Amino acid sequence: MTYYSTPEVGKMLHVSKGTLYNWQRMGILVPAVRTPTGRFYYSEAQVTELREKMGFKDPSPAEA
């Protein structure tokens, strides 16, 4: 399974890291992985789902 960091996901979704953290607090986007050092990572499936909800034509995060 592929995981993406917060900055990578922000770039793919065209939103700031702050927006992702707000979504996390609101329960919209829960990180798939949190490292012992506190870094968040999101699965490819999560990114794809959000891209679809946001209306991106190509749901593939790999091409973002």
Q: Taking CA 39 as the corner, what is the angle to CA 4 and CA 54, rounded to the nearest 5 degrees? A: 40
User: Whole-angstrom Cα distance, residue 14 to residue 19?
Assistant: 10
For 4, the enclosing helix (H) or strand (E) is: strand 3-5
Q: How many domains does the chain have?
A: 1
Given a cut of 70, whether residue 62 has pLDDT beyond it is no
Q: Domain residues for 59?
A: 3-63
Given a cut of 60, whether residue 63 has pLDDT beyond it is no
User: Whole-angstrom Cα distance, residue 28 to residue 36?
Assistant: 22
CATH number of the domain residue 43 falls in: 1.10.1660.10
- pLDDT: which is higher, 30 or 58: 30
pLDDT category of residue 61 using cuts at 50, 70 and 90: low
Task: State the first-to-last Cα distance of the chain, in angstroms, to the nearest integer.
Answer: 18
pLDDT digits (tens, 9 = 90+) for 9-49: 999 999 999 999 999 999 989 999 999 999 999 999 999 99
What's the rounded mean pLDDT across residues 46-55?
A: 88
